[in-house]
Structures are given as C-alpha cells and as structure tokens.
Structure 1
C-alpha cells in the first residue's frame, strides 16, 4: 500500500510538473500564437471578401510575424470569458482593445501600452437634455461594458455625486450599447471617444458628452508563464511606434473620423434612401467592369456631385463623377450628363489610376492615393511623393502623403518640384470625405460579388500626367 501511494504521488508530481512545463513552453516552442479577441469593427472582423481585418488583427499579426509565428484566433462573445481562458492556459494572449485597468484588477500579466483612449458620455440628442457634466447623468439609465475602465471612474465620481448609478453589461459590446442609445433603447453609455466618433458617422443624432477623466492606456493581456512573449511584445511595440506602424494603423482605421459634420452625414443618409436606388444598377455595372467596390465608386460620386448627373463646375468639369471633356473622350463617354456613361467612365478612369501607381503601394493606401490622383492629377501626386521621399517619409503611405500634398500650396515646397502649385489641402479633404462616405455605405449597403475585370489598357489624359499602364491589374479588394 505504501509503495502504491508512493507511486501515485510520484506520478501526480510528474503530471503536475509536465503540466507546468507545457504551460511554460506553450508558445515558445509552438508555431502558433493563440490570441483571444472579439468580433467588432475595431478589433477583428471578416469583410465581404472573406478577408480578416481590424486594428487589433493587423497589429497582432505583425507582432506574431516578428517572432516567427502565425496566429490562431479564439473569438469570445463576452469579456468575462477572457480571464478564465488565460488562467487556464487556453490561449497565449488577448487583444480586445481593452483598458489595462481591467487586466490589473484581474491579476494577470500585462503587455505594452500601444494606444490610449478617452472615455466619454454618449447619448441621443432628441432623448436627453445636453449632458455637460457627469452629474447630469443622475436619473438616467446608464449602461457600460463589463471590463470597462469607466466603471472605476464612475465609482470614484459617485462619492461626490449622490444617486449616480449605472449597470454593467457582459452581454453587449460597446458598439451594441452605442447602437442601443442611437435607437433610443438606452439613455446613456460610456465608450472610448474614437469608437463614439466612429459610430456617430452612422447615427448623426448621437451626441458625445463630457469625458470621465484622463486617457486610459490600452494593452494586451497575457497568460501566465509567458514572460518571453511579454518581453518580445514590449520590444515589438517600441519598434512599431518608432517606425510609424502603429501611427499608420491608427490613421487607416480612425484617421478620417472628424472630417464630416452631423448635418453632412444626415444629408448623405437621406440621399442614400432617395437618390441612390436609381443609380445603384450603374454602380454595380461599374464594379463588374473594373473590379472596384461599387460602394467606393458611389462614395466618389457623392463627394463629386452629391449624385447629381447635371452637376457642372466653373472649369467645365461635368456630370456625376465630374469628368473633364478630355477624360470623358478617352473613357468613351459621349454624354457627360448621362448618369450611366459618367459613372462607367469615372470608374474606368479610377481603375487606370490604380494600375498606374507603383507596385509597392499596397491596399488600402493604393485606393486612397489613386483617388488623390483623381482629384489633383498624377503629376501633382508624384510631386507629393517626391517631397515625402526628400523628408525621409514613406512616399507609398497615404498618412505621409496627406502632409506633403498640403505642402504643395506653399512656395517653400512647390517651387522645388516639377508641377508646381496645387490645392493639396482640398485633395486631402476630398479623399478623407470619401473614406467616411464609403464606411457608411459599407455598413448599410450590401456588397456585390467581386469580379476580375480584363486589362483595359486605356491611356490616361496627358494633362493628368497619364501614361499607358503596363501594370497587370491586381485583385481590387474593398479598402478598410
């Protein structure tokens, strides 16, 4: 019996040691990094082409690649699931864009801080009086996400504000809570300011109220025995901040949120219902011809003319996509006031611009830079790229070209490039507005099954710095 108990104890000890060893080597020797996340627009999502996207997806994927691993994603519906999964060793880390105060309270290892968010009050303008101060929340139904750092802020504020009450929800994501406010099913929620601005584009009646306090640091969460991962993650984020990778991702997903006023969005949503249905078949046809997402083409058309086929500029640019007479002739448009012809001509021209860009410019920057050329011409675009290169910026990144395009209106800069002065600031606004209109259409309009158009080989107008493209068309995916 003593011998049997001894053997059992020894086996139990060995099993425990093996479990601890497997936990400590769970990722160090594995090919995959198991990452917990959730499905929403700011972390991880699958687009209409079946491709994953999201700020957290891209940043984590870059990190995994830097340590020679691929990512296995583990989706959760509730934030409360995260800590038990990490403590059980069922994943290596979690990336949910969540406050590090949640992780501190949960007593699990923290990764590096890679961004900061400001918690703000979100309410519906027609449902509540303006909320100017936190004390104005008293008497209202306030619900926030479980795990939000705002809970700690409210707890501290409630000591000086009697009857300040709120509830925590583990069933709703921050986006769902904001949508509940937009639909007037909930009085108030508290969310990070970036997400609130993102949602306000779709629901212009939302109001963003006061902040709860200082910016909250956002970090990744790690399972125990992942010290090597924590160290490598810290090194990666330091490098990604230094080389601009984090900044470019922030611009890709959030850089265009402040361009439009609520009145602009309200009008756009109204036009989407009243005008777009008549034009939708033409935009669908344009996607089948060029492979460019019809919703992006529709966003261009709205920015150019508010979907008015009879629009005309003082310079004689005409039609829904605002084509010059020369461009229209080359694109086969005989009547610029004919909506179908103008849309197809504009779409083919955008396609040619996309094909004319250097191959090293990748999506989604490729689309934004092509649209900049649509507005200002390839010549001025190349000048902006030259300026970016001279200033040791990235000439293939839209975030850097936004700065050098603006410089083209300054004699200090435009006198040093080939094509001279340009209204580059207007070009930046043009593209950023289109990005916002495209985001709205992507939320409310169904995608069209993507096609692979033939190479068109259309020569660009010389006035636009054009040349016959020799670049084989890439598969054009919807920009993020």
Structure 2
C-alpha cells in the first residue's frame, strides 16, 4: 500500500516537474541575450555543429534524394540558421546518444523524450508530442484497456520513453508485465508482433503511422497515458547560449508554420506507396492511360522494354498524373528527382513526353549497371527496386543476402533481405545505412500486379487476378529484458 502511494506521488511530482521545466524552457531561453555563451561561441568559431543522432526513419536516413528524415530536416535548418555546417554521428541507440552528448559533441537529436530529471544534459523546448500507442496482432481479441493486456506478450523499446510510461502504468496496475529491448528499432518490434513472437507492442503513434504499411498484420489498439514531448539534448555546464539559440529557432519554426508542415510531411499520412485496388486501377487505365499510351509505346521501342511495364511504373509512381509532386520534390509522371532529370538532359519534368522518356532511359541505365550475374526477370525486378530505393541500398541488400546464405542474384532472396535495412542489427553493418527497405518490395510487387492487369486488358480478358499477395515476412529474434509484474 505504501509503495503504491509512493509511486503515485512520484508520478504526480514527475509530471509537475516536467510541466515546470517545459514552461521555463519555453519562456526564458527565448529572451534576448547579448552573451552567446562559451558553447555557442565555440560552434561559431569552428564553423560546424556536431550532432549525435540515430539512423532511423523518424530521425535521419539516406533517402532517394540524399539525407532526409524529420529531425535531419530540423538539424539542417538549425545549422543554416547558425550559418555553420552540419556534422552528424549516427552510430548510436537512444541511450548512447545521451551519453555521447554528456561527453562530447554539441547536441543530440534522436527522437529523445524530454526528461528534465536526466543528469548532465539540458533539453530544448518541446518539438512535437509523442503519444504512446498499444498495437496488437490481427486476429487477437482487440484490447481496449489495461486490463485486456494481462496474459499478452507485450514488447517495447527501452530508453525511448515508452518504457517509462509502462512503469508508471504498472504502479497502478501491478499485474502488468512486458519485455523491453535497448538494441531494437520500431520496425523490428512490429515485425515480432506480425510474426507472432509478440502479441502486442507499445510504440509512439507517429512511428506506427510511418511503418504500418509494411505490417498489415498489426492493428492499432488504444493510446496509453499522456503524450510525452520530443526534444533536443545539450551538454550541461557549457552555458545556455546554444540552448537559447535552438529554442529561438524552434519557436520561429513553430510560429511560421514550418514545423507543422514538416510533421505533416513525415508523419501526417501513411506512406505514399499505399495499396490501390484493382477496380481503381482499371478505372484509371480506361480514363487516363489512353492519353499517355502512345508515349509509353514510343519509349518502349527506344529502350526495349514492354510498354505495359513502363506504364505500370508510371502508375505506381504518379497514378499517371503528369503534374504529380511528392513532399520531397520528386516530380512528374515518372517522378524523377531533379539530379536524375539533369543527368538525363530532361528540361521539364512535368512534360509527360520528357518524363516518360527520361524514366524509361533511367530504368534501362539502372538495369545495365547491375552485375552480369543477375539475369532474366531477377535483373528486371532488381532494376525496378533500384529505381525506388537506389542502387546503393540494393547492393547493401545483396550483401545481406549473401551473409544470410542466400543467392544475391535471385530476387526472391534479395526481396527478403531488403526489409532488414530497417533493422538496426543489419543496416548498421552496411555501407549506405538505414533505408525503408520494405518500400521497394511493395513497389516491385505492385508494378508486377499492374503489369499483369494491363496484359490481361491488352488481351481483352474480363477477369483479373486479385491483388492480394502479401509482403514476405522475416522472423526477428532480438533479445528482450523481461519486466515482471510488481506483485
């Protein structure tokens, strides 16, 4: 009884301290100051800011156009705000980041939960809310309360803030038990739920939105506790100049709406590779494709591809919309990046003829750059995957395939390795680091389906294969610490 009362008081007191610290961080650091402080002066003099981060989809990773990620966008803009260059160290997990910030480097930006009780670091003002969410494997009775979690195998990630929420809930629900790991990332955790190693998991809501497309077997259950806050961490004892400047920058980003737009771009919707049904595709094939079919046919004659394959790529990329623009600036019917268009001599990415011709030549160039040992359909499917994720990440997946005893020249083996680029135990060993490796698997799968449907349409068939194939699964055997019930 006394222990329960103590945990209740500690939780209420922790919440009070968090509120007070947040108010202080928001109000006082934004006041004008004529003294930049030694830390800020040091950054300005050496002309770069050193940031400890993580190679994850919510923080920083190498995307189709180069470095990207929600916090990477903020870090880059903050460095530009200071007028210095950005130096990143992404060889960390969440716990390592705070230790590295205490010992060296200028700041940490790695999906860190604001925790004023942490020693040796100072946190910025809140950047965005972090809402814990219970997700569960489809087929189980849908849980809707803490009581429904008893008897379930639940996992979460240690040091991220969700583990703290679970401990606070256990103070009120002593029978609550779970497993936690400090070495995994969200994709690995959701994979364990999907393949049955876990029944449920606790992650942040924005993380689930970012990953749910790749784990259709995982359903969202209910929110747990009150939201935490994402923040940046700075070393204590080096003055408040850099912290104040970061808070000014973040306040400006919030006031001018840029922060909200970045949140929406990265977390506001499910991935753009969302599944599209056969009926919708056929409707577009009847209404839109006739305007562009002659262009696809001409590019097919020029490059040697089947025109229906190029049309399937165009639909996957833009739904045959010549004015399509992604949040990252990829544009046109074939969604060419600006550097790719420049290399191909494409002057207007929004011109359908130029876009289709450029996309066909780019796909052929990727296919020609693959090793000669890859042949037949395997070569085509890997070229398509590289069109989506880049050759560098495809080569990383082939290396992983070789390490796992598979055939790096066989698409069936490589497609099982691509999703591992989302798991820290694998991508940390690769040359190009994290990639949303589930995307090219879905990308190639969808294009094959669309191509198949177009082939049926071309032969005047009335029945079409259903689009119901599922993403291959890989079991993940990460190590957990078991947190037993408190009674």
TM range (shorter): 0.5 to 0.7
Matched, 1:53 2:68: yes
1:321-361 alpha-carbon deviations (Å, 9 max, x no partner): x4134x434665699xxx9324546878999x99989xxx9
CA distance in 2, matches of 1:245, 1:344: 36
Contact 2:107 2:232 in 1 (8 A): yes
Counterpart check, 1:235 vs 2:255? no
Distance across 2 between alignment mates of 1:129 and 1:72: 48
2:51 corresponding residue in structure 1: 35
Unaligned runs of 5+ in 2: 1-36, 336-348, 353-435, 446-487
Over 3 Å counting, the alpha-carbon distance change for 1:82 and 1:188 in structure 2 is same
Quote the residue 2:82 is aligned against: 67
Return the alpha-carbon distance in structure 2 between the equivalents of residues 368 and 189 of structure 1: 39
Take 1:356 and 1:139, find their aligned partners in 2: how far apart are those partners? 52
2:306 is aligned, of 319, 337, 340, to 340
Q: Distance in 1 between matches of 2:60 and 2:261?
A: 17
Structure 1: distance between partners of 2:207 and 2:158: 16
Structure 2 CA distance for aligned equivalents of residues 100 and 55 of structure 1: 17
- In structure 2, do the counterparts of structure 1 residues 226 and 169 end up closer, same or farther at CA, with 3 Å as the change threshold? farther
Asked if 1:203 is matched to 2:215, the reply is yes
Q: In the alignment, what sits opposite 2:175? A: 163
| C-alpha contact 2:314 2:334 (8 A) present in aligned 1 | no
Equivalent position of 2:153 in the other structure: 141
Closer, same or farther: CA 146–439 of 1 in aligned 2, 3 Å: closer
Superposed CA deviations along residues 220-242 of structure 1, whole A, max 9, x for unmatched, are 11112151111111111111122
1:144–1:312 Cα change, 3 Å: closer
Q: Which has the higher contact order (CA 8 A, sep 6+)?
A: 2
Cα distance between partner residues in 2 of 1:226 and 1:189: 39
Q: 1:210 Cα deviation (Å)? A: 1.5
For residue 258 of structure 2, the aligned residue among 245, 252, 263 is: 245
Q: Deviations over 1:429-467 (max 9, x none)?
A: xxxxxxxxx9953365689xxxxxxxxxxxxxxxxxxxx
How far 1:60 moved relative to its partner? 0.6
2:203 to 191, 216, 234: 191
2: CA distance, partners of 1:124 / 1:348: 34
Structure 2 Cα separation of the partners of residues 153 and 204 of structure 1: 26
**CA distance change for structure 1 residues 149 and 330 in 2, over 3 Å: closer, same or farther?**
closer
Tell whether the 8 Å contact from 2:155 to 2:202 is kept in structure 1 after alignment: yes
Q: 1:331 to 1:442 in 2, by over 3 A?
A: closer
State the alpha-carbon separation in 2 of the partners of residues 215 and 116 from structure 1.
6
Change (3 A) 1:80 1:312: closer
Aligned residue in 2 for 1:442:
440
Give runs of aligned pairs for residues 261-410 of structure 1, distance below 5 A: 265=275, 305=281, 311=282, 316-317=286-287, 322-325=288-291, 327-329=292-294, 332=297, 340-344=306-310, 364-367=328-331
Which residue is equivalent to 1:97? 111
Can you give the 5+ residue segments of structure 1 that lack an aligned partner in the other structure? 1-20, 269-301, 306-310, 378-437, 448-480
Q: Which has the larger radius of gyration?
A: 1
- Provide the aligned length of Structure 1 versus Structure 2: 308
94, 101, 108: which one aligns with 1:79: 94
Q: 1:367 to 1:256 in 2, by over 3 A?
A: farther
Checking the alignment, whether the CA contact within 8 Å between 1:328 and 1:334 is kept in structure 2 is no
Q: Secondary structure at the match of 1:96?
A: strand
Q: Structure 1 residue 303: deviation in Å?
A: 9.3
Match of 1:118 in 2: 131
Higher mean C-alpha deviation, range 186-195 or range 241-250:
241-250
How many Å separate the matches in 2 of 1:441 and 1:243? 32
SS in 2 for 1:220: strand
TM-score (norm 1): 0.55
Equivalents in 1 of 2:169, 2:314: separation in Å? 57
